[in-house]
Amino acid sequence: MPLQTKPSPVKLYDFHPPAEDFRSAVLRGLSLPQKVLSPQFLYDKRGSELFDAICQLPEYYLTRTEMQILRVNAGEIAAALDHRVLVELGSGSSQKIRILLKAAPQVTTYVGVDISRQHLQEACAALMGDFERLDAIAVCADYTKPLPIAAIPELQNRPTIGFFPGSSIGNLEPVEVISFLKTVALLGDLIVGVDLKKSPMILEPAYDDAQGVSAEFALNVLTRINRELGANFDLTQFEYRARYNEAEGRIEMAIASLSDQTVHLGNAEIRFRQGETLRTEHSYKYTIDEFQLLAMEAGFHPVQVWVDEQQLFSLHHLKQM
Ligand SMILES: C[S@@+](CC[C@H](N)C(=O)[O-])C[C@H]1O[C@@H](n2cnc3c(N)ncnc32)[C@H](O)[C@@H]1O
């Protein structure tokens, strides 16, 4: 008898890009003089699990600090949400949103937007289990592209507010931040988590921890390319690196080749010199003023910023001008 699986209560709108897009983006990125992969490719099911493990690490101050900011200021933030539909970009395990949902009983519709489909569905299902009043809708999509609101009835003709935590905005180059903010302006106001500039002594261990979870997370993208695109990366021939580039104000995360080697991906041959790097992520850090300037260039008006006592992390409320 076939196994009966309980149907998921979560409505899913699936705009995940086709596998062919993944192949062509990877081939394009690996053929550049500075090899590069988009950070979104880090998040297959295993990548999402590893990111959750990173959030628990003692070195990774970002998650616990942002959660602390949310807890301390929950009342004020809940008031800012009003009765709007709450749309979280890059929602991951939807943990942070729980703090706001507890403080804002008037919010009854939540839309999680994430590229990691299964993880997203599980997170939305768990939310619906824990918040009886809540309609949690999963939208599997690339948040750097305009959200296809017309195809999501729950978002039509209803006031919305965007929530973009986790300092994911730091993955974008500053010039991309402006176009990204202009795109998400269609959601109305935005509450966005932004990591602050600080000592490399704090920053570098956060992105390259003693237990090697950050390294496993980054190298998992090679495993994913092997599995999904039939490549033959030998993971023993690569190592993960994370360095703070103070002049650029960003953590640079990369996978370095430990030897001269050729990797096959279908018919393509990708050559690596010893020491050559493949960039997996940039994570930009901003002062409050720097970020507010970018937001204003994108047409937002910064109305409030919440920070923790140690000034490690900031949470900005941006309104449409
Ligand atoms: C740094 S994690 C943050 C997760 C969670 N919001 C938090 O604050 O802990 C980034 C999340 O965004 C998702 N993501 C990354 N790039 C994306 C993209 N271009 N479009 C949609 N989701 C993306 C990942 O799957 C992951 O869940």
Residue 273 within a domain: no
The pLDDT assigned to 7 comes to 59
Residue 261 within a domain: no
Sign of CA pseudo-dihedral 312, 93, 126, 108:
positive
Q: Which domain holds residue 152?
A: 9-229+285-321
Distance from C-alpha of 255 to C-alpha of 268, rounded to nearest angstrom: 20
Residue 262 within a domain: no
Distance from C-alpha of 276 to C-alpha of 274, rounded to nearest angstrom: 6
CA of 150 to the centre of ligand 1 (A): 23
The pLDDT assigned to 2 comes to 45
Residue 4 within a domain: no
CA of 104 to the centre of ligand 1 (A): 23
State which of 16, 43, 224 you would mutate to test the pocket of ligand 1, scoring each by most atoms of that ligand within 8 A of its C-beta: 43
Residue 122 within a domain: yes
CA of 142 to the centre of ligand 1 (A): 9
Q: Find out whether the beta carbon of 208 lies less than 6 Å from any atom of ligand 1.
A: no
Query: Are 158 and 137 within 8 A, CB to CB?
Result: no
CA of 144 to the centre of ligand 1 (A): 11
Q: Ligand 1 atom closest to Cα of 88?
A: 6
Number of helical H runs and strand E runs in the chain: 10, 14
For residue 86, the domain's CATH number is 3.40.50.150
Residue 275 within a domain: no
Tokens 């899913």 identify what position?
Answer: 12
Query: Are 285 and 249 within 8 A, CB to CB?
Result: yes
Residue 121 within a domain: yes
How many structural domains does the chain have?
A: 1
Tokens representing residue 250 in the block: 């960003």
Could you tell me the pTM of the whole model? 0.96
Among 133, 54, 59, smallest CA distance to 95 is for 54
CA of 129 to the centre of ligand 1 (A): 22
Q: Find out whether the beta carbon of 170 lies less than 6 Å from any atom of ligand 1.
A: no
Residues of the chain with pLDDT under 70: 1-8
Residue 297 within a domain: yes
